[in-house]
Amino acid sequence: MLQYTLRRVLIAIPSILGVMIIVFAMVRLAPGDPAQLLAGEFADAETIELIRERFGLNQSIPEQFLRFVGGVVQGDLGRSTRSNREVTADLAVYFPNTLELALGAIAVAILLGIPMGIIAALRPNTPVDLVVMLGALLGVSMPVFWFGLLAILIFSVELGWFPVAGRGTLRHLVLPAITLSASSLAIIARMTRSSMLEVLGQDFIRTARAKGLFGRGVVLKHALRNALVPVVTVVGLQFGALLAGAVITETVFTWPGIGSLLVQSILARDYPVVQGAVLLIAVSFIIVNLIVDLIYGYIDPRIRYD
């Protein structure tokens, strides 16, 4: 397994380099001059040039890219052109908040989605199955901002159960986590149902039942474990997507996460922060996928990493 892990890490290096090239190019193709924005509308040319020199914006594009790559290798992502703070310091403040929100959302999606999928698979083509699948369709279809605003209106404004916005206590996390989890919950429930239906129709399940095993033993010990590999894949992909796609939820609930930081930095043409934030999200996504691959072997002993 160690060799497999090292091989996957080596394979991830070109992916990270590709992300660096893409984000470096995209932020510079966007309209707007960060030096002009930082200096102000009525700044003179000398002031703007001093700002360019201060942040290395007067260098050629290849020189800027090589400096960016060299900084990443050394763990230095530069300084924000907006706040003059080190990018790593900003990411260390905002990323844990997004990670907290994503973990809460994926926990809700797993704890509700997998049982819903199992129940629907055990009662196919029944009213229970129909309700679960309609709920899943609704969860995938609902716009996040609409669901978030509706949750605030009902549970914060009308009932007063949870805070309207911000971060602090566990009560602050409940509504953002549920809002962010809606789409992932629906996808996990549908995948669990599909995978369980496929496993329940296989010969070894019929053999187990023929030997007198029924109910929870067949479902949990035999069927669910064999159905979990595709479900775990979806969970890993969804968790990575939650880390990258929490921008709208963070905006609706004023959650101080990396998504909010990224939007503000894009608007301010803050190249170092945008590059650092996207790179961090990409590395997190790669790490999550590596962990998911390693979990396969524990779920299904037939999977080998040789």
What does the pLDDT read at residue 251? 81
How many CB atoms are located within 10 Å of the residue 137 CB?
12
Q: Does domain 92-299 have CATH number 1.10.3720.10?
A: yes
What is the chain's pLDDT, residue by residue, as a tens digit (306 residues)? 677 677 777 887 888 888 888 888 877 776 666 776 666 666 677 777 777 777 777 777 788 788 888 888 887 777 787 777 888 888 888 888 888 888 999 999 999 988 888 888 888 888 888 888 888 888 778 888 888 888 888 888 888 888 887 777 888 888 888 888 888 888 888 888 888 887 776 666 666 666 655 666 666 666 777 777 788 888 888 888 887 777 788 888 888 888 888 888 887 777 788 888 888 888 888 888 878 777 776 666 666 655
pLDDT of residue 216: 63
Question: Which has the closest alpha carbon to 303: 232, 241, 217, 240?
Answer: 232
Task: Check if the beta carbon of residue 252 is closer than 8 Å to that of residue 163.
Answer: no
Q: Can you tell me which residue has the tokens 């394979």? A: 11
Which pTM value belongs to this model?
0.78
Supply φ then ψ for residue 79, to 5 degrees: -120, 145
Of the candidates 193, 224, 218, the residue with the CA atom closest to the CA atom of residue 205:
218
Task: State how far the Cα of 228 lies from the Cα of 235, in Å rounded to an integer.
Answer: 10
Q: How many CB atoms lie within 10 A of CB 65?
A: 16
Q: From the centroid of its chain, how far is CA 245?
A: 6
Q: What one-letter code names the amino acid at 3?
A: Q
For the chain, what are the domain ranges? Answer: 2-73, 92-299
